[in-house]
Amino acid sequence: MRRFWWAVVAGVILVAGVAVLLWWPRGDDRGLPPARARVYADYSACLLTGPEGLAAPGVAPVWAGLQDASGDTGTKASYLAAAGPATEANYLPYLNSLAQRRCDVVLTVGEPGTAVALAQAGTHPAIRFVAIGAAGGAAANVSPVGVTEHLRADVADAVREAAHAAGH
C-alpha cells in the first residue's frame, strides 16, 4: 500500500511539473514591456559647444531639439565641448575634429563656434551646418536658426530636414 501512495505522489509531481512547464511564461509573455533597442541610421549630428558643454546657457534647448530629431530619424547625436579660450582659433580644431569624425550635420551655438562654422562651411561641402544664432548662411550648406522661444522645435526641424535631404 505504501508503494501505491509513493506512485500517486510521484505521478502528481510529474503532472504538476509538466503543467508548470507548459504554462510558464516565455520571452515577452512575462508581462514585461519588450526590450527597447534603439536602431540608428548611418547618419550623425554633432553639437559643438563651449567648455561648459551641455550646461552652457542656451545649449539645453538645442540639445533637446537634437534629441527629438534623433528619436524621429534614427540620427546618432553627440556633442563635443571646446576647451580653452573662446576664440575662433581655438574652436577651429574642434570643428575640424567633428568633420574628421564624419558628422553629417554639425550644430554650433553662439560665438565663436558659429563664426567658425560659417567660415569653414565652404571647405566642408558634404557637411550640413546648423548655425544657432547666425543671421544668415555664408554657404549653401548652412542653415541659420534664430534664437527664439521655439528654438527646440526649430533645431529639431533643421536636423530632420538635413536627414531627409540626405535620404535618411
Give the pLDDT confidence of 149-162 residue by residue, as tens digits. Answer: 999 999 999 999 98
5 domain-assigned: no
60 domain-assigned: yes
Domain residue limits at 160: 44-165
Sign of CA dihedral 81, 86, 90, 95: positive
14 domain-assigned: no
Residue written as cell 575634429? 97
- Reported pTM: 0.75
Q: Between the CA of residue 92 and those of 10, 95, 97, 158, what are the distances in Å?
A: 78, 5, 9, 23
62 domain-assigned: yes
Q: How many CB atoms lie within 10 A of CB 9?
A: 10
Determine contact, residues 76/40, Cβ cutoff 8 Å.
Answer: yes
Count: domains in the chain: 1
Query: What CATH number does the domain containing 60 carry?
Result: 3.40.50.2300
Find residue 44's DSSP bridge partners.
76
Which cell is 146 given? 534664430
Q: What tens digit of pLDDT does each residue of 91-125 get? A: 999 999 999 999 999 999 988 999 999 999 999 99
Q: What tens digit of pLDDT does each residue of 10-24 get? A: 777 877 777 666 776
13 domain-assigned: no
99 domain-assigned: yes
